[in-house]
Chain A
Amino acid sequence: GAGVSQSPSNKVTEKGKDVELRCDPISGHTALYWYRQRLGQGLEFLIYFQGNSAPDKSGLPSDRFSAERTGESVSTLTIQRTQQEDSAVYLCASSLDRRQPQHFGDGTRLSIL
Protein backbone atom coordinates (compact mmCIF):
# COMPACT_ATOMS: atom_id res chain seq x y z
CA GLY A 1 0.00 0.00 0.00
CA ALA A 2 0.86 3.66 -0.20
CA GLY A 3 1.44 4.03 3.50
CA VAL A 4 -0.07 3.59 6.91
CA SER A 5 -3.84 3.90 6.72
CA GLN A 6 -6.05 4.89 9.64
CA SER A 7 -9.81 4.96 9.96
CA PRO A 8 -11.96 6.78 10.65
CA SER A 9 -10.24 10.08 9.98
CA ASN A 10 -12.63 11.83 12.35
CA LYS A 11 -14.82 10.49 15.13
CA VAL A 12 -17.23 12.43 17.29
CA THR A 13 -18.94 10.58 20.09
CA GLU A 14 -20.67 11.16 23.38
CA LYS A 15 -18.98 10.77 26.71
CA GLY A 16 -19.34 7.24 28.02
CA LYS A 17 -19.48 5.53 24.62
CA ASP A 18 -16.88 3.06 23.41
CA VAL A 19 -14.82 3.78 20.29
CA GLU A 20 -12.67 1.64 18.07
CA LEU A 21 -9.88 3.05 15.91
CA ARG A 22 -8.25 1.10 13.13
CA CYS A 23 -4.73 1.06 11.69
CA ASP A 24 -3.49 -0.71 8.56
CA PRO A 25 0.32 -0.74 8.61
CA ILE A 26 2.60 -0.82 5.61
CA SER A 27 2.82 -4.37 4.28
CA GLY A 28 5.83 -6.19 5.67
CA HIS A 29 6.28 -3.89 8.65
CA THR A 30 6.62 -5.98 11.76
CA ALA A 31 6.48 -3.13 14.27
CA LEU A 32 3.34 -1.07 14.94
CA TYR A 33 2.89 1.82 17.33
CA TRP A 34 0.02 3.91 18.66
CA TYR A 35 0.54 7.48 19.87
CA ARG A 36 -1.80 10.15 21.16
CA GLN A 37 -1.48 13.87 20.55
CA ARG A 38 -3.55 16.21 22.66
CA LEU A 39 -4.04 19.77 21.53
CA GLY A 40 -0.85 21.79 21.91
CA GLN A 41 1.16 18.85 23.16
CA GLY A 42 3.70 16.44 21.76
CA LEU A 43 3.04 12.88 20.76
CA GLU A 44 2.54 10.52 23.66
CA PHE A 45 3.40 6.83 23.27
CA LEU A 46 0.55 4.42 24.01
CA ILE A 47 1.42 0.88 22.88
CA TYR A 48 3.87 -1.00 20.66
CA PHE A 49 3.55 -4.33 18.84
CA GLN A 50 6.53 -6.23 17.44
CA GLY A 51 5.70 -9.36 15.47
CA ASN A 52 4.20 -12.02 17.69
CA SER A 53 5.87 -10.78 20.87
CA ALA A 54 3.87 -9.53 23.82
CA PRO A 55 3.01 -5.87 23.25
CA ASP A 56 4.57 -3.04 25.24
CA LYS A 57 1.53 -1.49 26.90
CA SER A 58 3.47 0.81 29.18
CA GLY A 59 2.00 3.98 27.70
CA LEU A 60 -1.68 3.14 28.01
CA PRO A 61 -3.14 5.79 30.34
CA SER A 62 -5.83 3.65 31.93
CA ASP A 63 -7.53 0.26 31.74
CA ARG A 64 -10.18 1.83 29.52
CA PHE A 65 -7.61 1.68 26.74
CA SER A 66 -6.73 -1.54 24.95
CA ALA A 67 -5.29 -2.54 21.59
CA GLU A 68 -5.03 -5.68 19.53
CA ARG A 69 -3.03 -6.74 16.55
CA THR A 70 -3.31 -10.02 14.71
CA GLY A 71 0.08 -11.13 13.46
CA GLU A 72 1.66 -8.40 11.37
CA SER A 73 -1.57 -6.92 10.07
CA VAL A 74 -4.32 -4.58 11.19
CA SER A 75 -4.44 -3.16 14.68
CA THR A 76 -7.40 -1.73 16.57
CA LEU A 77 -7.24 0.65 19.50
CA THR A 78 -10.32 0.55 21.71
CA ILE A 79 -11.29 3.16 24.25
CA GLN A 80 -14.11 2.17 26.57
CA ARG A 81 -16.39 4.58 28.44
CA THR A 82 -14.80 7.59 26.76
CA GLN A 83 -14.08 10.74 28.76
CA GLN A 84 -13.60 14.27 27.51
CA GLU A 85 -9.88 14.09 28.24
CA ASP A 86 -9.64 11.32 25.64
CA SER A 87 -10.18 13.94 22.93
CA ALA A 88 -7.02 13.94 20.84
CA VAL A 89 -5.51 12.85 17.55
CA TYR A 90 -4.56 9.19 17.67
CA LEU A 91 -1.64 8.35 15.42
CA CYS A 92 -0.50 4.96 14.24
CA ALA A 93 2.98 4.24 12.90
CA SER A 94 4.72 1.18 11.53
CA SER A 95 8.32 0.25 10.79
CA LEU A 96 10.23 -2.61 9.22
CA ASP A 97 11.50 -3.54 12.65
CA ARG A 98 11.89 -1.88 15.99
CA ARG A 99 15.05 0.06 15.16
CA GLN A 100 13.97 1.37 11.74
CA PRO A 101 12.32 4.75 11.13
CA GLN A 102 8.62 4.88 11.83
CA HIS A 103 6.09 5.78 9.13
CA PHE A 104 2.99 7.55 10.36
CA GLY A 105 -0.62 7.53 9.28
CA ASP A 106 -2.81 10.62 9.03
CA GLY A 107 -4.34 9.93 12.42
CA THR A 108 -7.86 9.77 13.77
CA ARG A 109 -9.19 12.95 15.34
CA LEU A 110 -11.37 11.90 18.26
CA SER A 111 -13.74 14.38 19.85
CA ILE A 112 -15.69 13.49 22.97
CA LEU A 113 -18.74 15.64 23.60
Chain B
Amino acid sequence: AQRVTQPEKLLSVFKGAPVELKCNYSYSGSPELFWYVQYSRQRLQLLLRHISRESIKGFTADLNKGETSFHLKKPFAQEEDSAMYYCALIDTDKLIFGTGTRLQVFP
Protein backbone atom coordinates (compact mmCIF):
# COMPACT_ATOMS: atom_id res chain seq x y z
CA ALA B 1 0.00 0.00 0.00
CA GLN B 2 1.11 3.55 -0.64
CA ARG B 3 2.25 5.17 2.56
CA VAL B 4 4.13 8.18 3.88
CA THR B 5 5.90 7.96 7.21
CA GLN B 6 7.12 10.86 9.28
CA PRO B 7 8.72 9.26 12.33
CA GLU B 8 9.08 12.40 14.44
CA LYS B 9 6.01 14.11 15.90
CA LEU B 10 8.09 16.94 17.31
CA LEU B 11 11.48 18.36 16.44
CA SER B 12 12.96 21.11 18.59
CA VAL B 13 16.07 23.06 17.67
CA PHE B 14 17.69 26.37 18.49
CA LYS B 15 17.87 29.20 16.00
CA GLY B 16 20.82 28.76 13.63
CA ALA B 17 20.98 25.00 14.06
CA PRO B 18 20.55 22.66 11.09
CA VAL B 19 17.21 21.00 10.63
CA GLU B 20 16.24 17.73 8.99
CA LEU B 21 12.64 16.56 8.96
CA LYS B 22 12.43 12.94 7.97
CA CYS B 23 10.04 11.46 5.45
CA ASN B 24 9.98 7.92 4.11
CA TYR B 25 7.56 6.57 1.60
CA SER B 26 6.23 3.33 0.20
CA TYR B 27 5.13 3.52 -3.41
CA SER B 28 5.14 1.20 -6.40
CA GLY B 29 6.25 3.29 -9.33
CA SER B 30 7.84 6.71 -9.70
CA PRO B 31 6.64 8.84 -6.80
CA GLU B 32 5.86 12.52 -6.96
CA LEU B 33 6.56 14.00 -3.54
CA PHE B 34 5.71 17.24 -1.78
CA TRP B 35 6.28 19.07 1.46
CA TYR B 36 3.38 21.12 2.81
CA VAL B 37 3.65 23.52 5.74
CA GLN B 38 1.09 24.98 8.12
CA TYR B 39 2.14 28.02 10.14
CA SER B 40 0.21 28.98 13.25
CA ARG B 41 -3.30 30.22 12.40
CA GLN B 42 -2.68 29.85 8.66
CA ARG B 43 -3.87 27.36 6.11
CA LEU B 44 -1.91 24.44 4.79
CA GLN B 45 0.30 25.52 1.89
CA LEU B 46 2.75 23.95 -0.50
CA LEU B 47 6.39 24.41 0.49
CA LEU B 48 8.12 22.50 -2.27
CA ARG B 49 7.79 19.60 -4.69
CA HIS B 50 10.59 17.29 -5.70
CA ILE B 51 10.19 17.71 -9.44
CA SER B 52 10.90 21.44 -9.11
CA ARG B 53 14.25 20.81 -7.44
CA GLU B 54 14.08 24.28 -5.94
CA SER B 55 14.88 25.84 -2.59
CA ILE B 56 12.06 27.62 -0.81
CA LYS B 57 12.73 29.70 2.31
CA GLY B 58 16.10 27.98 2.52
CA PHE B 59 14.58 24.50 2.59
CA THR B 60 15.58 21.75 0.20
CA ALA B 61 14.50 18.15 -0.19
CA ASP B 62 16.12 15.47 -2.29
CA LEU B 63 14.36 12.35 -3.42
CA ASN B 64 16.42 9.26 -2.57
CA LYS B 65 14.83 6.33 -4.34
CA GLY B 66 17.28 3.84 -2.87
CA GLU B 67 16.30 4.77 0.67
CA THR B 68 12.74 5.73 -0.32
CA SER B 69 13.20 9.02 1.50
CA PHE B 70 12.42 12.68 0.89
CA HIS B 71 13.87 14.42 3.91
CA LEU B 72 13.43 18.18 4.29
CA LYS B 73 16.56 20.09 5.23
CA LYS B 74 17.62 23.59 6.15
CA PRO B 75 21.17 24.47 7.19
CA PHE B 76 20.24 27.28 9.61
CA ALA B 77 16.81 27.25 11.22
CA GLN B 78 14.95 30.50 11.91
CA GLU B 79 12.26 31.16 14.51
CA GLU B 80 9.74 31.83 11.74
CA ASP B 81 10.24 28.26 10.51
CA SER B 82 8.27 27.01 13.51
CA ALA B 83 5.27 25.22 12.00
CA MET B 84 3.71 21.89 11.22
CA TYR B 85 5.30 20.13 8.25
CA TYR B 86 3.63 17.40 6.21
CA CYS B 87 5.24 15.16 3.64
CA ALA B 88 2.91 13.88 0.91
CA LEU B 89 2.93 11.88 -2.28
CA ILE B 90 0.54 11.81 -5.20
CA ASP B 91 -1.23 8.50 -5.76
CA THR B 92 -3.64 8.43 -8.68
CA ASP B 93 -4.27 12.17 -8.40
CA LYS B 94 -4.90 12.31 -4.65
CA LEU B 95 -2.39 13.24 -1.97
CA ILE B 96 -1.36 10.74 0.68
CA PHE B 97 -0.06 12.58 3.72
CA GLY B 98 2.20 11.65 6.56
CA THR B 99 1.12 12.42 10.10
CA GLY B 100 3.24 15.55 10.23
CA THR B 101 6.18 16.85 12.26
CA ARG B 102 5.93 19.92 14.43
CA LEU B 103 9.11 21.98 14.20
CA GLN B 104 9.86 24.28 17.10
CA VAL B 105 12.73 26.72 16.69
CA PHE B 106 13.81 28.35 19.93
CA PRO B 107 15.57 31.73 20.04
Instruction: Tell whether A pairs with B.
Output: yes
Binding site for B on A (CB under 8 A): 3-4, 31, 33, 35, 40-45, 48, 50, 56, 59, 91, 98-99, 101-107
- Asked whether, in the complex, the Cβ of B99 is within 8 Å of the Cβ of A102, the reply is no
Which of B45, B49, B93, B94 has a CB less than 8 Å from the CB of A104?
Answer: B45
Instruction: Kindly list chain B residues whose C-beta atoms are within 8 Å of the C-beta of A56.
Output: 92-94
- Asked whether, in the complex, the Cβ of B97 is within 8 Å of the Cβ of A33, the reply is no
**Nearest-neighbor residue (CB-CB) of B41 within chain A:** A106
User: A107 to B45, alpha carbons, bound, how many Å?
Assistant: 13
- Asked whether, in the complex, the Cβ of B94 is within 8 Å of the Cβ of A42, the reply is no
Instruction: Kindly list chain B residues whose C-beta atoms are within 8 Å of the C-beta of A101.
Output: 34, 46, 49
Which of A41, A48, A91 has a CB less than 8 Å from the CB of B94?
Answer: A48
What would be 23 A-B contacts, judged by CB atoms less than 8 Å apart?
A4-B43, A31-B93, A33-B94, A35-B95, A42-B6, A42-B97, A42-B100, A43-B44, A43-B88, A45-B94, A48-B94, A50-B93, A56-B93, A56-B94, A101-B34, A101-B49, A102-B46, A102-B95, A103-B46, A104-B43, A104-B45, A105-B43, A107-B43
User: A104 to B88, alpha carbons, bound, how many Å?
Assistant: 14
Per-residue A-contact encoding for B1-12, CB less than 8 Å = 1, 0 else: 000101000000
Q: Interface centre among B43, B86, B97, by most A CB within 10 Å?
A: B43
A42-B99 contact given A99-B90, A105-B43, A106-B43, CB 8 Å threshold: yes
Chain B: interface residue total (CB-CB under 8 A): 21
Binding site for A on B (CB under 8 A): 4, 6, 32, 34, 43-46, 49, 86, 88, 90, 92-100
Instruction: Kindly list chain A residues whose C-beta atoms are within 8 Å of the C-beta of B44.
Output: 43, 91, 104
